[in-house]
Amino acid sequence: MSNPFSLEGKVAMVTGSGRGIGKATALVLAEAGADVVVLSRTAEQVEGTASEIRAMGRKALATTADVRDGQQIADLVSRTLEEFQRIDILVNNAGASFPPVATLQLSEGGWDSLMRENLKSTFMCCKAVAQPMMRQGKGSIINISSLEGVTSATTCSGYGAAKAGVINFTRSLAVEWAPNGIRVNCIVPGYISSPMVPLAVEKYPTLGENVARVPLGHMGQPEDIAYGVLYLASDRAAYTTGTMLVIDGALGCRFD
């Protein structure tokens, strides 16, 4: 029986794929058969991810670019089209959060930085791939938001506002680009394990308190998000657009 989630013949671009959720996503998409554009600001990290993809027998284009810069994004899309002639999947994973900070202590520059890192970058990447996908008559865009985009952002209101914007932007694009065959969906992760988490929890006790409230009793793994991306990227999700896939161990369901 053929793989119902096969991405054979497809090209995926994954931002922030040098480590964490982005790297896990790039590897899972490659495992499903996609050739992958690996993108991050750190050359060593993208080369590491690309090497693992090539070891699977898939093609990988390792690139360094700043997704906050529109010209760099445009250049990346042009290079991708030269290399692969198409772009089928875009995963907007790149983003950043501040350490926990009260709103009165969040500067105007800090607010602007959060919007640029998390919301503006998503807008610019989506816009950059839209024309190639429209010419193909098909494409899948998956934006990565955060649980703090749908609940109160107890660690940083600016980060929560930016991630809420990603969700609304996703839903708007899903309607606007549906006639062009482009599906746009969003994944909402809860707390996901990474090498930096123990240090962050030690430094900011409120984070540890939030993690302890996850009903499943543990944080998720990057692969938990990556397999959600695989579903949304695959033809099995052909009738799925404008949706939020929450992967949070039921933390967002708590009211206490």
- Domains, the chain, in order of start with CATH, read 11-244 (3.40.50.720)
Decide which of 98 and 64 is more confident. 64
Structure tokens, 141 = 């865009």
Q: What is the pLDDT of residue 1?
A: 55
Poorest-pLDDT segment among 84-98, 106-120, 192-206:
192-206
Tell me how far apart the alpha carbons of residues 179 and 157 are, in angstroms, rounded to a whole number: 35
Asked whether 143 and 169 are in contact (CB, 8 A), the reply is: yes
Point out the residues that are catalytic.
159
Task: Share the mean pLDDT of the chain.
Answer: 93
Query: What does the pLDDT look like over 122-168, one tens digit per residue?
Result: 999 999 999 999 999 999 999 999 999 999 887 889 999 999 999 99
Q: How many CA atoms does the CB half-sphere of 160 hold within 13 Å? A: 16
Decide which of 226 and 198 is more confident. 226
Q: What is the pLDDT of residue 211?
A: 85
Query: What does the pLDDT look like over 168-207, one tens digit per residue?
Result: 999 999 999 999 999 999 999 999 998 667 667 777 777 7
The alpha carbon torsion through 176, 179, 182, 184 (nearest 10 deg) reads: 40
User: What is residue 181's DSSP assignment?
Assistant: T
Phi, psi of 195 (to 5 degrees): -60, -25
Compute how many other C-beta atoms are within 10 angstroms of the C-beta atom of residue 123.
16
Structure tokens, 77 = 């899309």
Question: Is this prediction's pTM over 0.75?
Answer: yes
